[in-house]
Structure 1
Amino acid sequence: MNLAANANIALYSSMIVYTLAMLAFTWHLAARVPTIEGVRVEDREAVLVGSGSRDGEPAAPETPSTPYAAGLVGEQTLKSRQRGNIALMLTYLATALLVSSVLMRGLAVSRPPWGNMFEFATAAAAAVGVAYSVLAKRNHWEWLGVFIVAPILLVLGLSLTELYTEAGELMPALKSYWLGIHVSVAFIAVAMFTIGFAIGALYLVRRHREEKPPAKPNFIESLPTSAALERTSYTVNMVGFILWTFTLIAGAIWAKEAWGAYWQWDPKEVWTFVIWTVYAAYMHSRATAGVDARKSMYIALAGFVAVIINFTLVNLVSTFVGMHNYSGM
């Protein structure tokens, strides 16, 4: 019980540090507002539209029609870099605290710490934090931080206020080595989908402002070009889709072991397949020549909405009564 109590302390501590990180990321974005006076469009580097080959041929470069479409990032100011580094350091610390909370919870109950919705939500938030921390350090994604940390904070807050469950034993159906395999891969997939969603939403905003330049630029104009954001979102979502495919297959194998059949038309099973289908449709649309990338992105965003439904309504609403209802205790 001391470990469980310490896990809660670490969880509260991580929320405090994540809050500071969110404020620091906002502070960082305030220093990223670009200046466009005197910018000549013809001096800007051409932007590659799409991601390589939708129809087997390399994408042709397209010269931006406005300074806003040229990606006016340039050299970040010293102030912007300093604020971004502070925000990232705080994110690393908060994520370390959250991961330690999840680990202590697992040690307290001597099992994988995702046997109920509270544990699943906090572990999933930790997965998002770790994934973002790794990718941000490698790719300098300080500009994305506030759009990742804010949802993490929201999930942790709801977990403590609405989903909190005392540490205890697993339900019999969950006592399987598949719990560690199936659910842990699902965490990583959801983390990828979350990051892909955030970048995809920014892509839509960025593209809109490229097509209809605002009178006054803000931090949106300091982001990578819409083409670059779209490619990045596609790559991240592709990784999530591959992992989700494994999650679906592993879940079917576990169902055969636990209930004697690979498929029972359980609401959780159905929504897991719905998510896979929507993201498969996105991948197909994205790879089809002539399809507007914006339309494909709307499909990806719909896929993430399905992810949210799967891990909230399907687990918590009595309408979706099924074999997985123990996960909502």
Structure 2
Amino acid sequence: MTDYSTALVLGAVVCYLIAMLSFAVDISALGGHAPQRKVRRAANIGLALSWLGVGLHLVGLVTRGLAAGRVPWANMYEFSLTFALVAMLGFLVINRKRDIRYLGVFVSFLAVAVLFVAFWHLFVEADGVQPILDSYWLVVHVSVAAGSTGVFSIAAAASALQLIQHRQSRRTAATKQPARVAAGSGGDVVEDAAVPPQPTTFVGRVMAHVPDVESLERFAYRLNAVAFVGWTLTLVAGAIWAEAAWGRPWGWDPKETWTLVIWLIYAAYLHVRATVGWTINRFAWFGLVGFVALLANFYVVNIFFPGNHSYSGL
């Protein structure tokens, strides 16, 4: 079963990698000089391969659980598989409601990178769990954490794209020049008739097909709000599990502390988003800081900071 799981997830990685290249080709077409086609074949190929990859990924995760005789998210390798699956599946499900193919390169790249690190640095053989982990809270606590991380990942991709769009919008605004336009039968000249400039750079032509800054910011905000609810449940479930396992709900373990730090960052982000009149690109930076803290919690704290959660890396 372990070998089948590994082969299936590796197949998913190949699908995601080719999908990423397809989405990149689609973006290259958007930035080209040729007229745009209504049917974006490269993007649709990327979507089809992403769905195929998700199918292989899901079956691989299930067979991993069957091989271990438990839910397949008890260590860093399995957590990586789970949250990469949530990120890709979330992207595909949302795309059925609204066209977000422009995020395909970002999300598929993240999935490939996460699975690459998982296979070559975090892989462990499928096995049972330590007695302290043998609890139904493993199902609740870790699954919700993985799901929230996947949704935070999509929001971070949208925030990164928002910052690129913001930069491009400023460049476009700076290139606007008044045009001299002849008006009226007397041949009078109007000096202030602004003619919207056409983007001349590759990035400019690509970003012309991406939603505006405000739309991207609202999209990232909604995803972060949903993921924040899940992260709150993660924090609460972890405290209840700690009480049952260690006889105390909170002990300032490095993992517990960083989980709280992440919660505080996103709580502050949601608060200032609702109350403070910042420019919207500052909210994007705020959300990205939270995502970097999330990655640090997983890849740095789990590995380099000993504590009660150190077994999660085994």
Match of 1:114 in 2: 73
| Structure-1-length-normalised TM-score | 0.84
Aligned sequence identity (%): 39
* Contact 2:74–2:142, Cα closer than 8 Å, also in 1: no
Distance 1:168 1:104 in 2: 12
Match of 2:188 in 1: none
Distance 1:140 1:294 in 2: 22
Match of 1:4 in 2: 2
How many pairs are equivalent?
Answer: 286
Match of 1:56 in 2: none
Pairwise CA distance, 1:256 = 0.6
1:229 aligns with 2:189: no
Pairwise CA distance, 1:91 = 0.3
Given the alignment, which residue of 232, 239, 253 partners 1:252?
A: 239
1:173-224 CA-to-partner distances (Å, cap 9, x unmatched) read: 1110000011111111111110000000110110111111264223122100
1:181 aligns with 2:179: no
Q: Map 1:95-114 to 2 at 5 A.
A: 95-114=54-73
Distance 2:23 2:71 in 1: 32
Q: Which moved more, 1:209-218 or 1:224-233?
A: 209-218
Q: Map 1:166-315 to 2 at 5 A.
A: 166-213=125-172, 215-216=200-201, 217-315=204-302
Secondary structure of the residue aligned to 1:212 is helix
1:41-96 CA-to-partner distances (Å, cap 9, x unmatched) read: xxxxxxxxxxxxxxxxxxxxxxxxxxxxxxxxxx96234x2222111010000011
1:86 aligns with 2:45: yes
Match of 2:178 in 1: none
Residue type at the aligned position of 1:22: M
Pairwise CA distance, 1:23 = 0.9
Given the alignment, which residue of 37, 45, 49 partners 1:77?
A: 37
Distance 1:303 1:206 in 2: 20
Distance 1:105 1:236 in 2: 29
Residue type at the aligned position of 1:12: L
1:275-315 CA-to-partner distances (Å, cap 9, x unmatched) read: 00000111111112422222222111100011001111111
Match of 2:176 in 1: none
Bigger RCO (CA 8 Å, 6+ sep): 1
Distance 2:211 2:282 in 1: 20
Distance 1:251 1:328 in 2: 17
Match of 1:323 in 2: 308
Residue type at the aligned position of 1:110: G
Residue type at the aligned position of 1:31: A
What residue ranges of structure 1 are gaps of 5+ in the alignment? 36-74
1:8-39 CA-to-partner distances (Å, cap 9, x unmatched) read: 1101111111111011111111222387xxxx
Match of 1:44 in 2: none
Secondary structure of the residue aligned to 1:323 is coil
Residue type at the aligned position of 1:13: G
Secondary structure of the residue aligned to 1:78 is coil
Secondary structure of the residue aligned to 1:265 is coil
Distance 1:309 1:303 in 2: 10
1:208-262 CA-to-partner distances (Å, cap 9, x unmatched) read: 1111126422312210001110110111111111111111111111111111111
Distance 1:134 1:212 in 2: 34
Secondary structure of the residue aligned to 1:195 is helix
Q: Cα RMSD between the aligned structures?
A: 1.6
* Contact 1:282–1:297, Cα closer than 8 Å, also in 2: no
Distance 1:137 1:279 in 2: 27
| Structure-2-length-normalised TM-score | 0.88
Distance 2:238 2:46 in 1: 37
Distance 1:307 1:20 in 2: 27
Distance 1:264 1:148 in 2: 35
Q: Which moved more, 1:265-274 or 1:206-215?
A: 206-215
1:124 aligns with 2:95: no
Residue type at the aligned position of 1:269: E
Given the alignment, which residue of 144, 166, 170 partners 2:103?
A: 144
Distance 1:227 1:120 in 2: 33
* Contact 1:34–1:222, Cα closer than 8 Å, also in 2: no
